[in-house]
Amino acid sequence: MLVLSTPSALLAPIGLLVPLAIHLWNRRPGREVAVGSLRWLTTGANRRLRNLRLEQVLLLLLRTAVLAVLAVAVAGPAWRLARPARRGQVLLSPALAGTGSLAAVRPTIDSLRRRGYGLRWLAAGFPSIKAADWRADSAGKVLDGQLFTVTEAWYWGRVQQAGTAFVGQPLYVVTPAGQRGFGGTHGALPARLTWLTLPGRRAEQWLYRATTTPDSLHLQIGQADESRLTFQTVSVKKPAPGATLRLPKLPAWRYVLDARQAASLQPLAADQPAAVPVTPATLRVWVYAPAAATTEARYWRAALQAAAVGLPGRLALTVAATPPPADARPDWLFWLSDAPVPTAWQAQVHQGLHLWQLAAGPSRADTASLVAPDASPDAPITLWRRATAPLSGEPLWTDSHGRAVLTRQPLGAGATYLFTSRLQPAWSTLPASPALPALLLEVLAPAPTAANLALHDQRRFDPSQLPPRPAGGQSLGVSPPAAYRLLDLRPWLVLAAGLLFALERWLARQRASITD
């Protein structure tokens, strides 16, 4: 079928009247005839004007054809060809690899494969699953010789990409039933789509965090199933260095001390998660506040004591007008002074110290709001002054203009924090804000994030949000020729116009030579 991208260009053939007018106007001159009297000339001329006839019709047709072909080429003609009907694709989520969940749909997938369906991963590039892997029930654990790593997948976008990559083909998508991967919104999904969700893994437990006291370990254990995600704390006797720790429904761990006496729990099995650091159950915080910062120190004491309610362990807080002694080993040092931090304490950051400093440089008046989810909309946190020194590191707190208020720069086992404001009423409303303890708690002991919990979150996704399954398995047949490809005819028309023009020029020269 012929289609035109610019149909309005077909008005161009009106210009064909131009060569016709020129052709009629430029008639061949008459021959000179010697006559004895002029009285016969007027009658002959009138008779010639009344008998306008087309001459050199072939040249006229060639010139008209050149313009007509170019006009059609400008209209953008293309020939629409229906793509041949093809079989569909079965797309499996990599999160199902090795879980045993695919056994429930294996007969259906085998039936589709016998009907010509391809078997691919619902992942970047949609790599094919080798037939040998599928027959061996390995579900493609090994892909191209490497262990397939299950990563976060956004199923909406992947399925939309599949609709573009396999145009006109029915898609049979199989994903876990958990919420993981279904975040965000989605646009239009492919029309011929069957989406099946399979139950995920059974309820599981995992070790999330570990803290220590002189004689005990306090283990924070996560529990996940299809309905909820919870945490509980279990206390056990502190093992000796190198000893094995075994807990019900958890893998075995080895208690290890490194050269700096930092403790961690190392998994014994090679396929287990990464090591879990063991942090002291008592969080030792030293606030250095010289005489000029006495008022600000009171706000820090109150805020840190309020934040301690949410800490996994006890808070050991010291507020002093002198720096900590050399033999002290605080976990946090709040340096509320414009004086530089001693080199010895800066070096402790690499050993695990968290150093909170005030941003240097002069301050200036400013008006902004602190972006804080815990702040009440009726009582926003207003910032009236800020330090002007440039900041580096990851922004933890930002204001309403997108500028960093608190940044974190990891250094070795510790980190440095730069704060552009002050806990002073002249600087902000932070000192009196009830949201301040929650903000500090997120810095002192960050809560589990979505990235930390993604591998364990098994809460079930509501299947009503998926497109309905076609009745009678209509989407599992052979796809009709719903997609087309366009064959551009413009290059051929331009070539034809060039050949016609060359033929017209040759024929015009031939006639001119005959006339001469």
Distance in angstroms (rounded) separating the CA atoms of residues 273 and 207: 9
Q: CA 34, CA 32: separation in Å to the nearest integer?
A: 7
Q: Name the nearest CA neighbour of 181 among 203, 200, 208.
A: 200
Angle, helix 57-74 to helix 17-25, in steps of 10 degrees = 160
Whole-number Å distance between alpha carbons of 192 and 168:
8
Q: What is the DSSP string of 303-370?
A: HHHHHGGGSSSEEEEEEESSPPPTT---SEEEE-SSSPPPHHHHHHGGGT-EEEEE--S-EEEEEEEB
Quote the CA–CA distance of 168 and 83 in Å, as a whole number. Answer: 9
| pLDDT tens per residue across span 154-168 | 788 888 888 888 887
The predicted-structure confidence for 417-452, as pLDDT tens digits, reads as follows 999 999 999 999 999 888 899 899 989 887 655 445
388-395: which pairs have CB atoms within 8 A and are 24 or more residues apart?
388/361, 388/362, 388/363, 388/364, 389/359, 389/360, 389/361, 389/418, 389/420, 391/359, 391/418, 391/420, 392/418, 393/418
**Looking at domain 282-448, which CATH architecture does it have?**
3-Layer(aba) Sandwich (3.40)
Percent of the chain residues topping a pLDDT of 90 = 18
pLDDT of residue 516: 59
Query: What token pair was written down for 309?
Result: 């309610």
Looking at the predicted structure, is the pLDDT value of residue 482 above 50?
A: no
pLDDT at 344 over 80: yes
204 or 28, greater pLDDT: 204
Given a cut of 70, whether residue 13 has pLDDT beyond it is no
Give pLDDT, residue 138. Answer: 47
Q: What angle in degrees, to the nearest 10, is found between the helix axes of 436-444 and 294-307? A: 70
Question: Is pLDDT above 70 for 52?
Answer: no
146-147 and 142-143 strand pairing: antiparallel
pLDDT single digits (tens) 122-146: 888 888 888 877 876 544 444 443 3
pLDDT interval class at 224 (50, 70, 90): confident
159 - beta bridge partners? none
Helix (H) or strand (E) holding 433: none
The answer to whether the beta carbons of residues 133 and 139 sit under 8 Å apart is yes
Contact 273, 206 (CB under 8 A): yes
pTM for the model stands at 0.49
Q: What is the pLDDT of residues 270-290, one digit of tens each?
A: 666 678 888 777 889 999 999
d(CA 63, CA 508): 11
The mean pLDDT of the chain is: 78
Contacts of 272 (CB under 8 A, 6+ apart): 251
